[in-house]
A and B are shown apart, each in its own frame.
Chain A
Amino acid sequence: MNNNDIKTNYYDDDIVRKFAMITLVWAGVAFLVGLIAALQLAFWPLNGGLEWITFGRLRPLHTNAAIFAFAGNAIFGGMYHSTQRLLRTRLFSDTLSRIHFWGWQLVILCAAISLPLGFTQGKEYAELEWPIDILITLVWVVFAINFFGTLYKRREKHMYVAIWFYIATILTVAVLHIVNSIAIPFSFMKSYTVWAGMQDALVQWWYGHNAVAFFLTTPFLGLMYYYVPKILNAPIYSYRLSIIHFWALVFIYIWAGPHHLLYTSLPDWLQTLGMVFSVMLWAPSWGGMINGLLTFKGRWHLVRSEPVWKFLIAALTFYGMATFEGPLLSIKSVSALGHYTDWIVGHVHGGALGWNGFMIFAMLYYLVPKLWNTELYSKKLAEQHFWLGLVGIILYYVSMVVAGVTQGLMWKAVDSNGLLVYPEFIETVVRIIPLYWIRALGGLLYIIGFVLMVYNIVKTVKSKKAPLTDTAIANLVNENVKDNQPRLLEGYATVFSVLALLAVLVGTVIEIYPTLNVHRYVNPEITTQPFSALEQEGRDLYVREGCYLCHSQQIRPLVDEKLRYGDPSTIEESIYDHPYQWGSKRTGPDLARLGKKYPDMWHYRHMLDPREIQPKSIMPAYDWLAKKNIDYSQIKKKLNVLKNLGVPYTDEQVQNADVDAEAQAKVISEGLKQKGVAEKIENKEIIAMIAYLQALGQKGKK
């Protein structure tokens, strides 16, 4: 008898059960926070006057929870389940699996506490501060060791295409996270990114776009390539297509980041590159979608009675829609209209709710009965979940595209005299508020569907028939291991991984390397003044409050923007910005040239209650800025870190940072006092904020 046959081996199902359950928990949190944030845009008082849940702090909580907690845990569960079966072996180490699980939940917990408190690096989807970033890195390394260890001890020589997508995911996310998060701390929970201005924008969107690519796409494609055939009990339509799909996708995706920065002061060649590669991405993306959908060929009649199949088909269709719309939005002239509007919000939610959400739901409906050794409690509830979810997404998507295009056209409208038709920004906001309500309704329907699912799953779990055990692996003598005509690439895990990493690094190096020396792009005749100590302090408050999530600081060279906001932004103006604050959404107007537009008193009143100046405003009131004292204790350290990063502060400026800041604060508060402010405000945060707002657009002059 073969040696292998003596001892029974088991898959680790317990860890998959853990990830599956926690996915549901975090999904609830992510959806709920999203709904509150959406309602705040329709009805601002919903923040209850609490600084921790104003839009600027809630939005990062929502995105992080959706991406890293909901999608993340689902990915880990699905990967651990499918990898063991594809490689016919138990995971490398039970201990590492559990460290991975608990470590990741710790990361999420830290995020859930620190983001509402205002600890943020001010970069979208990479908000978490440096100690949490380090924790993420450690957990990711544990995950990688566990995964590659499993690959190493696999009992199936050939690596199925799902595994390739997992490999690309693990390696690329590691590179993205580390490069984008490099920062110099100046205190326990605060740091400045090493990247500055245009360079920071490039690195951030290289990261941001590829978080979509390698956290929300490649792992999900891997799951799709496993779970679609498993759920249908039919092979994937074309294995050949999946090979092409994989290599084309990982190679092309990484270049597309600059499509988030079209018409900004990013160098033109990078914008063009980003646009061209984004358009090319359409082909492999649709290759993958078609491959998934055609697997249903000859089985379409069964879809009517199988809610899980419906989820899969809708997920693949939304993937196709999002990957068609993405290249479209990457065309410069379309970006000119769509960028900064709610169209983009609609676009990501088509992907997140439709593609990611529905894939996860399908996977859980399939996995939970299997893992708990029982049947799904109710197919009917799953069916209702599907339709509620679908209607929810459609309401969400359509309302946001209409809102985006409406507002975009209103911003652009210029009359025959060459004047803006809607010079008041608020007019364009008021027009789309009804659509914000419809969006919230869409989200609510999606959540109701999700609640049905939770009930269904809980009932299913409770109906388990026997005590839970791990699945026993049949120790077949595996003929593939002795395959005498091996396919080298898929037999040698290491070679494969290196090649996949290389495919990803090509685009990265070509785009980022030339901008490492930003000064090459700077006009030497323009000298940019760094922010004064007080202004820098105000800038940190701007980052803390997440103002960049509603306000851009980047004027594009388009007719209407010149009329509305002034001259286009230049590279030089943001060259000392750690982090850059160009923003990606204009719920409020651009602020790049705000300085000196209004008197200090205007800002004082507007920050405390925007409605006092602009009765229809939806901006939150920031009255706590007038109650909290400026923390001068870190200011020297801050300027010192910035100086080391290349911001031209002199030694005296660093030494006298606190004295200078207090002197400037005194001048501003004296001015306000003369205008009738009775409160004692000279060391309140609002003064620093006003100093910063008045400095915007004032620094990079010839």
Chain B
Amino acid sequence: MSTILFMVAVALILSITFVVSYLWALSSGQFNDLDTPALRILKDDILKGTERKNHEQQ
């Protein structure tokens, strides 16, 4: 019995925490931009060939 009460309390606290943190995430703009992060990783930003040589000589 005491285990059940304990678990119910834990479940309540957890679910409230989740709702609150979700609302916070939504209102603080955590979900504002869901496109660019996925695209940004595709760009390599590396130096190759002559570009690299020129850069290294600077």
Contact among B4, B38, B52 with A472 in the assembled complex (CB-CB below 8 Å): B52
Decide: A472 and B55 in contact? CB cutoff 8 A: yes
Decide: A510 and B10 in contact? CB cutoff 8 A: yes
| A487 lies within 8 A of chain B by Cβ | yes
Distance A474 CA – B55 CA, assembled complex (angstroms): 9
Q: Which of A171-179, A207-215, A235-243, A440-448 makes up part of the contact surface?
A: A235-243
Decide: A485 and B29 in contact? CB cutoff 8 A: yes
Within A56-97, the residues touching B (CB, 8 Å) are: 85-86, 88
Known contacts A472-B47, A485-B29, A487-B30: does B40 contact A8 (CB below 8 Å)?
no
Decide: B55 and A230 in contact? CB cutoff 8 A: no
| B50 lies within 8 A of chain A by Cβ | no
Decide: A488 and B28 in contact? CB cutoff 8 A: yes
Measured between beta carbons, the chain B residues less than 8 angstroms from A238 are 34
Known contacts A230-B42, A487-B29, A489-B25: does B34 contact A239 (CB below 8 Å)?
yes
Measured between beta carbons, the chain A residues less than 8 angstroms from B37 are 158, 160-161, 239, 490
| A476 lies within 8 A of chain B by Cβ | yes
Measured between beta carbons, the chain B residues less than 8 angstroms from A273 are 7
Distance A233 CA – B30 CA, assembled complex (angstroms): 26
Nearest neighbor of A270 in chain B, beta-carbon distance:
B3
Known contacts A485-B29, A506-B14, A510-B10: does B42 contact A235 (CB below 8 Å)?
yes
| A226 lies within 8 A of chain B by Cβ | yes
Decide: B41 and A229 in contact? CB cutoff 8 A: yes
**A511 shortest CB reach to chain B, Å:** 11
Distance A527 CA – B22 CA, assembled complex (angstroms): 51
| A614 lies within 8 A of chain B by Cβ | no
Distance A230 CA – B41 CA, assembled complex (angstroms): 8
Contact among A8, A226, A480, A485 with B32 in the assembled complex (CB-CB below 8 Å): A485
| A269 lies within 8 A of chain B by Cβ | yes
Measured between beta carbons, the chain A residues less than 8 angstroms from B41 are 85-86, 160, 226, 229-230, 235
**A88 shortest CB reach to chain B, Å:** 6
| A526 lies within 8 A of chain B by Cβ | no
Contact among A8, A239, A485, A506 with B55 in the assembled complex (CB-CB below 8 Å): A8
Known contacts A235-B42, A487-B29, A506-B14: does B35 contact A472 (CB below 8 Å)?
no
| A334 lies within 8 A of chain B by Cβ | no
Known contacts A158-B40, A487-B30: does B58 contact A6 (CB below 8 Å)?
yes
Distance A158 CA – B34 CA, assembled complex (angstroms): 12
Decide: B30 and A489 in contact? CB cutoff 8 A: yes
Nearest neighbor of B13 in chain A, beta-carbon distance:
A506
Measured between beta carbons, the chain B residues less than 8 angstroms from A160 are 37, 40-41
Measured between beta carbons, the chain B residues less than 8 angstroms from A226 are 41
| A471 lies within 8 A of chain B by Cβ | yes
Decide: A487 and B33 in contact? CB cutoff 8 A: yes
Distance A503 CA – B50 CA, assembled complex (angstroms): 48
Nearest neighbor of B46 in chain A, beta-carbon distance:
A471
Chain A 1-25 per-residue mask, 1 if CB under 8 angstroms from chain B, else 0 = 0000110100100000000000000
Measured between beta carbons, the chain A residues less than 8 angstroms from B28 are 488
Measured between beta carbons, the chain B residues less than 8 angstroms from A240 are 31, 34
Decide: B38 and A229 in contact? CB cutoff 8 A: yes
**B47 shortest CB reach to chain A, Å:** 4
Distance A161 CA – B34 CA, assembled complex (angstroms): 11
Nearest neighbor of A6 in chain B, beta-carbon distance:
B58
Contact among A6, A156, A235, A471 with B39 in the assembled complex (CB-CB below 8 Å): A235
| A473 lies within 8 A of chain B by Cβ | yes
**B41 shortest CB reach to chain A, Å:** 5
Distance A485 CA – B52 CA, assembled complex (angstroms): 33
Decide: A235 and B46 in contact? CB cutoff 8 A: no
Decide: A488 and B31 in contact? CB cutoff 8 A: no
Contact among B39, B40, B46 with A480 in the assembled complex (CB-CB below 8 Å): B40
Nearest neighbor of A273 in chain B, beta-carbon distance:
B7
Within A167-204, the residues touching B (CB, 8 Å) are: none
Decide: A472 and B56 in contact? CB cutoff 8 A: yes
Decide: A236 and B47 in contact? CB cutoff 8 A: no
Measured between beta carbons, the chain B residues less than 8 angstroms from A506 are 14
**A486 shortest CB reach to chain B, Å:** 9
Decide: A474 and B47 in contact? CB cutoff 8 A: yes
**B45 shortest CB reach to chain A, Å:** 5
Contact among A234, A235, A269, A472 with B7 in the assembled complex (CB-CB below 8 Å): A269
Decide: B58 and A472 in contact? CB cutoff 8 A: no
Distance A488 CA – B35 CA, assembled complex (angstroms): 17
Nearest neighbor of B58 in chain A, beta-carbon distance:
A6
Distance A235 CA – B42 CA, assembled complex (angstroms): 7
Distance A230 CA – B46 CA, assembled complex (angstroms): 15
**B38 shortest CB reach to chain A, Å:** 4
**B54 shortest CB reach to chain A, Å:** 10
Distance A139 CA – B38 CA, assembled complex (angstroms): 32
Decide: B29 and A88 in contact? CB cutoff 8 A: no
Decide: B46 and A473 in contact? CB cutoff 8 A: yes
Decide: B32 and A85 in contact? CB cutoff 8 A: no
Distance A226 CA – B37 CA, assembled complex (angstroms): 12
Measured between beta carbons, the chain A residues less than 8 angstroms from B39 are 235
Chain A 484-518 per-residue mask, 1 if CB under 8 angstroms from chain B, else 0 = 01011110000000000000001000100010000
Within A436-486, the residues touching B (CB, 8 Å) are: 471-474, 476, 480, 485
**B40 shortest CB reach to chain A, Å:** 7
Decide: A235 and B45 in contact? CB cutoff 8 A: no
**A87 shortest CB reach to chain B, Å:** 11
Distance A346 CA – B34 CA, assembled complex (angstroms): 38
Known contacts A472-B47, A476-B45, A488-B28: does B3 contact A236 (CB below 8 Å)?
no
Distance A510 CA – B40 CA, assembled complex (angstroms): 39
Distance A243 CA – B30 CA, assembled complex (angstroms): 10
Nearest neighbor of A469 in chain B, beta-carbon distance:
B52
**B31 shortest CB reach to chain A, Å:** 7
Distance A364 CA – B51 CA, assembled complex (angstroms): 28
Distance A273 CA – B14 CA, assembled complex (angstroms): 15
Nearest neighbor of B51 in chain A, beta-carbon distance:
A474
Measured between beta carbons, the chain A residues less than 8 angstroms from B58 are 5-6, 8
Measured between beta carbons, the chain B residues less than 8 angstroms from A85 are 41, 44
Q: Which residues of B contact A (CB under 8 A)?
A: 3-4, 7, 10, 14, 25, 28-35, 37-42, 44-48, 51-52, 55-56, 58
Given A226-B41, A238-B34, 7 extra CB contacts under 8 A:
A160-B37, A235-B42, A273-B7, A472-B46, A472-B48, A487-B30, A510-B10
**Can you report 16 A-B residue pairs in the complex whose CB atoms are below 8 A from each other?**
A6-B58, A86-B41, A160-B37, A226-B41, A229-B42, A230-B41, A233-B42, A235-B42, A240-B31, A243-B31, A273-B7, A472-B52, A473-B47, A487-B29, A487-B32, A488-B28
**7 closest cross-chain pairs (CB), A and B:** A235-B38, A472-B47, A239-B38, A474-B45, A239-B34, A269-B3, A240-B34
